Amino acid sequence: MLPKGFFASGTHCGIKRFKKDLALIYSKSGCKAAGVFTKNKLKAAPLVISKLTLKKGAPIRAVIVNSGNANCCTGRYGIRDAKRMINAVSSLMGLKFGNILVSSTGIIGKRLQIGLIEAAVPKLTRGLSAKGLVSAANALLTTDRKVKIATEKFKVGRKEIIITGIAKGAGMVHPNMATMLSFIMTDARIDKDALTSALKEACRVSFNAISIDGDMSPNDTVLILANGLAGNGTIKRGTKEYRAFVKALKNVSFKLAKNIVEDGEGATKFVTVYVENAVTERDAEKVARMIANSCLVKTSIHGENPNWGRVASSVGSSGAAGIKPNKFEIYLDGVLLFKRGKFTTPGRDKISKVYKRKNVEITVNLNAGRKNAVIWTCDLSKRYVEINSHYMT
C-alpha cells in the first residue's frame, strides 16, 4: 500500500527476456530523502550519481530503477548511461535532473542497454498508479523467488502515517553481487536530519544485520523518500514522534531484511544469532558475524547437526574483547550445550530437537559485559553451491 501522494509503476523494457525489469517511483510533491549505500570501494555508476544528487539536497520527486544490468564496471559509459536514465524521466515528466534518483541491479561489466530503457520510459510513466506498488516491486527482482513489500502505519496526533518499502535480495543470500536494494516511501512530514538518522538506525538492525558473506555489492542501496502529505507536524529528532517513526521504520526494514534472508538461494533455514553480554556492541556484533559467516556453522545447520563446537570455535576466533573459554555459554534452539569450557551433556532427548525447525536460534552469552547484538542468516546448502557455480557474470 503506497503512502499518500506516491505512485509506482513497473514494466518490461527488454533487458531481461520475459520479466519486468524497469520500475519508477513518483511523488506528486517534493520529498525529503536520505540514503544508505554500499561501503564497497567499487561503486556502480547510478549509485555515484544518486549519492551526489542527495548531497545537493533538492527535493526528490522520482526514482528510476532497472534490474538485469547493474551498470557497474562499465567504464566511462557507466555515468553517462545512468544520467541518460534520469534524463529520460526528467524530460517526459517536467522534473529537474536533481529531483530524480537512479538505481540499477543485475549483471556487472556489461554496458547498460540504455536504448531499451529510454524507449520504455514513456510506457513506464503512463503506467504510474497508486496501485502500482506490486508491479514496481516485481521489476526490481533478479534471482529472488518472491516479491518483497512491507507496510506500517502509525499516528502522529490525528494524522495517520504510512511507511511502505520494497526490496530485492543480495550477497551470500543472492549472489553474483546481486545487490541489496530497498526503496522506502512515507507520507510523514519529517525534517531531513531526523529522516537521515532514522534511516541509519533502522538499517543497523535490519539490512546491515543480515549476514551477507562479508562481501558488499557495489550497488547496495537503501533510499527513503518522505513527501509530508500526511499533514502531521514536522517530526524532529529526540521527540516521541521521532521514536514512533523510527519504530515503524525499523519494522518495515526488518520485515524486508527477513524476507531477503528467507528467500536466500538454496536456503532451507532462517537463522537468528543472538550474542549477549559483550563488552561493547561492536564486540557483540563481531562474535555474531563470525558465527553467521562461518561455512562450518552454516553447513552444520543445513545438516541439522547440533555442532556447538563450531560455534565455540567461531566465538574464540572472533577477536572480540573479554572472551574467556570458561565464561561463555552456547545455546542452540534454547538448549544449553556449552558452559564452563565444556559440553553440558544435556541428554539425547534435548539434543535431538536442535536445528530441526525452519527457524533456528543460536544464542551466545559471553558473560563479559552488558551489550547485545542480533544477526540473521540462512544455512549453506548444496543448492547454493549449484546455483553459484554456474551463474555467469
Kindly tell me the sign of the dihedral angle through the C-alpha atoms of 104, 106, 108, 110.
negative
Angle at 277 between CA 272 and CA 280, to 5 degrees: 100
Q: Report in angstroms how near the CB of residue 277 gets to its own copies at its nearest.
A: 16
- Name the minimum Å distance from CB 384 to its own copies: 8
Q: Which of 179, 272, 363, 377 is catalytic?
A: 179
d(CA 3, CA 361): 35
* Count of beta carbons in the 10 Å neighbourhood of residue 382: 10
* Residue numbers at the binding site for its own copies (CB under 8 A): 39-43, 72-75, 78, 107-110, 172, 175-177, 213-218, 290, 293-296, 299-300, 302-303, 305-310, 312-317, 323-325, 338, 340-343, 380-382, 384-386, 388-393
Q: Are strands 6-11 and 22-37 parallel, antiparallel or unpaired?
A: antiparallel
Under 8 Å between Cβ of 325 and 341: yes
- Residue 164 CB, shortest distance to its own copies, in Å, is 30
Q: How many residues does the chain have?
A: 393
- Local structure of 6: helix, strand or coil: strand
Q: How far is the CB of 99 from its own copies (least distance, A)?
A: 28
Q: Please give the Cα distance from 367 to 313 (Å, whole number).
A: 17
The CA-CA-CA angle for residues 51, 52, 54, to 5°, reads 65
Question: At its nearest, how many Å lie between its own copies and the CB of residue 211?
Answer: 11
**Among residues 123 and 391, whose Cβ is nearest to its own copies?**
391
Q: Which is nearer to its own copies, 145 or 382 (CB)?
A: 382
The residue among 4 and 310 lying less far from its own copies, judged by its C-beta, is: 310
**CB-based contact 293:374 (threshold 8 Å):** no
- In the chain, the amino acid numbered 58 is A
> What stretches of 239-391 adopt beta strand conformation (E)?
270-278, 329-332, 335-339, 342-343, 359-365, 371-378
Distance CA 258, CA 237 (A): 27
> Which single residue is written with the C-alpha cell 503506467?
127
Write down the least CB distance from residue 271 to its own copies, Å: 14
Residue 238 Cβ vs its own copies, minimum distance, rounded to whole Å: 33
Active site residue 234: no
User: In a 3-state reduction of DSSP, which class is residue 118?
Assistant: helix
Toward its own copies, which CB reaches closer, 8 or 47?
47
One-character DSSP codes across 165-183: EEEE--TTTSTTT---EEE
Catalytic residue numbers?
Answer: 179
